[in-house]
Structure 1
Amino acid sequence: MSRTSWSINALATEFQLDRRTVGKRLEGVVPVDLGPDGSPRWSMVDAAPALLNPREPRSAPTRPPPEGAEILTKIPNDVQAGFVIALLDLMTNGKPYIGGALMASGLSLEQAKRGAAHVHVALMSFADRAARNLGIPPWVQQEEPSWIPVDKIQEPDWKGLAAFAKQERAKAAPKVA
């Protein structure tokens, strides 16, 4: 079973709260991802405490670091470590964002699938070249960084993206009387 992420509207419906109230209570709660339309989404585990107990001080969620993050301890420069964090995020979570953008731009499901795969690989290649040119460890020490979690690359929810794109196209279609 996969984790579901929730928009402000969905959380407002589930908790029977005004969406502005939900937005205020979620300030400081880190979203887990973005929806196909680019809006932030939260996990129920992170959102529920802020929505149920708005006066209690919120602490940052304690999640284990992503696989591969131990490499950050070997990078002496904070800016370079930040680059690696962004690269890890791009590698594992970039494909759904790319797929969503391609579906929202009007591409068919098959075109978006192929495009997302190609764009994702191109961005990873660009990041790899940039890391090597900037001298960021471990790229400068290894030909192929073995710590990169390629098995953790997220696949987009193609069915959900297709349904969302269909809804958006229906809204944008001229109304015939």
Structure 2
Amino acid sequence: MPYTWLVLLSICFIGHMTDSQLVYKFNKVECQVNQARVKNVSCNVKPINWNTALVNMDCYLISPIINPTGRLFRNVRVQVFMKDYSNQYKPFLIDASFKLCEVVEMKNFLPYGVMVWELFHRFTNAKSCHISGQLSAKNGYLNTSYVPQFPHGQYQISVMFSDSNSTNREFVGIVKFFVQAMDQIKSKKRP
């Protein structure tokens, strides 16, 4: 008898998993920058439908981000936080630091670095690791093919940029993406 319940429960769970599709929807984006390095910053989210929202960002780099020479310093840090039952964001699985130029030049194959670079390359005008001048991101979104599947809930994905050399490290900016992992909402309209 217990095996029967286990089989029925498994069939219901698998049926639920195949029936719904996971989507990541942007709710909000925040940009915090070092005013001495970056100016004219704008970050916004443009809702398209119940399942999709696009991120648009724009800024001007006063001084370029240079390839760091120090071996101990990392210039990009990605952290993921999940909102818990007390409405606070707690660390969730991912806290990775890497040098962007090593990922671009294929010297480092850290999975999170590759994901960040693929998203940058696809949605921004940054085509190399030496970033200078006007930097913009247009119509950015997260697809389940870009990032691993997270459990349903509210997440904050924090991407921090710094510029460093062999002796010091300087904060450039941090972008916080607020994302909801949810089942795709299907339209009830007939085609």
TM range (shorter): under 0.3
Structure with the higher strand share, 1 or 2: 2
Higher relative contact order (CA 8 A, sep 6+): 2
TM-score, normalised via structure 1 length? 0.26
TM-score, normalised via structure 2 length? 0.25
